[in-house]
């Protein structure tokens, strides 16, 4: 399994809107993607920092997802909400409990 992390910074007064978009738009769209296994959104209401973790069957599925334009389409949904460009990282899931 492979995990893609997207680290974002938003204004603290925009967190509710960010969470709503993630839950009502990003997650339903992700469910239709090949290899999608799940997602988490972690947020710090004091700083506005957020981390999206999406899980994929393989690194190849995550890369194909990015190359299809899907990833950028999802990021664009948050236009005007982020105060810095998102940072994307990928990791092999080494241990799962």
Range of the domain at 17: 2-92
- Give 38's Cβ-side CA count (13 Å radius): 3
Q: Residue 84: which CATH number?
A: 3.30.70.100
Task: Tell me if 68 is assigned to some domain.
Answer: yes
What is the full per-residue pLDDT of the chain (97 aa) written as tens digits?
A: 999 999 999 999 999 999 999 999 999 999 999 999 999 999 999 999 999 999 999 999 999 988 999 999 999 999 999 999 999 999 999 999 9
Domain count, the chain: 1
Task: Tell me if 41 is assigned to some domain.
Answer: yes
Task: Tell me if 28 is assigned to some domain.
Answer: yes
Task: Tell me if 29 is assigned to some domain.
Answer: yes
**Residue 11 burial (CB count, 10 A):** 13
Task: Tell me if 33 is assigned to some domain.
Answer: yes
Task: Tell me if 97 is assigned to some domain.
Answer: no
Instruction: Please give the model's pTM, rounded to 2 decimal places.
Output: 0.91
Q: d(Cα 52, Cα 43) in Å, to the nearest integer? A: 9
- Give 25's Cβ-side CA count (13 Å radius): 14
Task: Tell me if 21 is assigned to some domain.
Answer: yes
DSSP state of 89: E
> In DSSP terms, which residues pair with 9 in a beta bridge?
49
DSSP state of 93: -
- Give 46's Cβ-side CA count (13 Å radius): 0
Structure tokens at 26: 């990003």
């Amino acid at each position: 399994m492979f995990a893609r992390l997207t680290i974002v910074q938003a204004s603290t007064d925009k967190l509710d809107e960010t969470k709503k978009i993630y839950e009502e738009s990003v997650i339903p769209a992700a469910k239709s993607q090949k290899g999608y296994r799940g997602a988490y959104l972690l947020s710090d209401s004091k700083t506005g920092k957020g981390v999206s973790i999406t899980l994929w069957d393989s690194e190849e599925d995550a890369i194909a997802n990015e190359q299809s334009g899907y990833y950028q389409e999802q990021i664009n949904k948050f236009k005007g909400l982020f105060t810095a460009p998102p940072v994307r990282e990928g990791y092999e899931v080494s241990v799962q409990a």
